[in-house]
Amino acid sequence: MHIAYVCADPGIPVFGTKGASVHVQEVVRVLLEAGHTVELFCRRTGGEPWPDAATARAAGWLTVHELGPIRGADLADRERRAMTADVELRATLDAAGPFDLVYERYSLWSTAGTSYARDHGVPAVLEVNAPLPEEQARHRGLAHPDEARAVIRQAAGNARVVVCVSQPVADWVHDQLAGVPSGSRPTVVVESNGVDVDRIVPAPAAAERPFTVGFVGTLKPWHGTETLLAAHAELRRSVPEARLLLVGDGPQADALRDQAQSLGTADAVELTGAVAPVDIPRLLHRMDVATAPYPAVGEGYFSPLKVYEYMSAGLPVVASAVGQLPGVIDHSRTGFLVPGSDPTALAGMLTVLAADPWLRERVGSAAREHVVAGHTWTHVVERSLAAAGIALSVPMGSRAGVVT
């Protein structure tokens, strides 16, 4: 198939290091590896593609259309320009087609992908990762809320299937479609994030090092890293050599450094800064335990990409029992759940794991087996397309849709 992948969100650099960037890269990778040709439409790339994608571009199997940033005098002006830019995106799709399938990552102001599919009579998959109007209003401001809600209704209404990363997101989509006649509504399915189990594998052997607790992610308030630093300080009372490795960057980085300084643990805390996805596996190999210390109160609709990566690396995971995490982790079998925003509970579980290498090995192995069995990105994309009545794979030795 000749597939249009649309990501019109200006906040997602498709070749960048954000979790959303990784999600885009992995879906595109799976489509390419299945033998399809892909044209990627995005606002910005944020860097160079991963090596296999660069090869695919050179071979003509991947084409990237970088549409450019959206600027405005103020919030309302930027939103109006984004709506206008969506009309231009639709014209770009029309010129680049024809396509056999459109896969659009829902963004706040875009209906271009699914409207193209509707008008050309081809299937569209709309991937929804968050209730963006509510998220935008809460964190950044929203000048045109009615228009934003109209976008999700139109984008979803034009799709054959809407793939949501969690049940709360699916419930939100159903709410947005409440006024749409039942016969015109798309199929709505839940499909959580996945992981590339060939890229992220367990460390070849346990290295001799101090017990190391790890975290991967953007350093923002809703990840609970301040609780992790407090727990690490408590852990060091019983495991003085314990280290903390924070992989990623973000607006909280300086505050976390200051917190470590005030806790007296600065010499045992390492912040790597931004890391390319290709470098994540080697950093996971430096960890003995990985954490997802989300706050007790927060947005529970997320699908925890980092947790699947931890599990693929064969690491025991200690995560907050919030949001979707109790449905991802089988407590004491594939990981451990503790109350959110509770550094003492987190430190207690880390202390147990520091003292029991056999427990770490058993739980980490079970976690790896769990994601290999059903949570690879290939599983995710295959099930998403199947919900639209489309097979992922193409015949061996062929690459449908190549234009010569």
Residue 232 to residue 283: CA distance in whole angstroms? 18
- 316 in Cβ contact with 289 (< 8 Å): yes
Torsion sign (Cα): 142, 161, 170, 5: negative
Residue 303 to residue 282: CA distance in whole angstroms? 23
Residue 111 to residue 93: CA distance in whole angstroms? 12
Neighbouring C-alpha atoms within 13 Å toward the C-beta of 349? 26
Query: Scanning the structure block, which residue is given the tokens 């890293």?
Result: 225
Q: How many CB atoms lie within 10 A of CB 187?
A: 12
Query: Crossing angle of helices 19-33/305-312, nearest 10°?
Result: 60
pLDDT given at position 298: 78
2-194+376-387 against 212-374: fold identical: yes
- 8 in Cβ contact with 43 (< 8 Å): yes
Fold designation for 2-194+376-387: Rossmann fold (3.40.50)
Overall CATH class of domain 212-374: alpha beta
pLDDT averaged over 10-residue windows placed end to end, the chain, 404 residues: 97 93 96 97 93 94 95 95 97 97 98 98 97 93 96 96 96 92 89 96 87 95 95 98 96 97 98 93 97 90 93 98 94 98 98 97 98 97 96 64 32
pLDDT given at position 336: 98
Q: What token pair was written down for 36?
A: 């399809």
pLDDT given at position 394: 64
* CA 313 to mean position of chain CA atoms: 17
List the one residue out of 324, 347, 305, 308 whose CA is nearest residue 213: 347
pLDDT given at position 183: 78
- 336 in Cβ contact with 290 (< 8 Å): no
Which sequence spans correspond to the domains of the chain?
A: 2-194+376-387, 212-374
Q: What is the 3-state secondary structure (H, E, C) of 166-189?
A: CHHHHHHHHHHCCCCCHHHCCEEE
pLDDT given at position 179: 82
Helix (H) or strand (E) holding 290: strand 289-292
> CB under 8 Å to 300, separation ≥6 — which residues?
168, 322, 323, 324
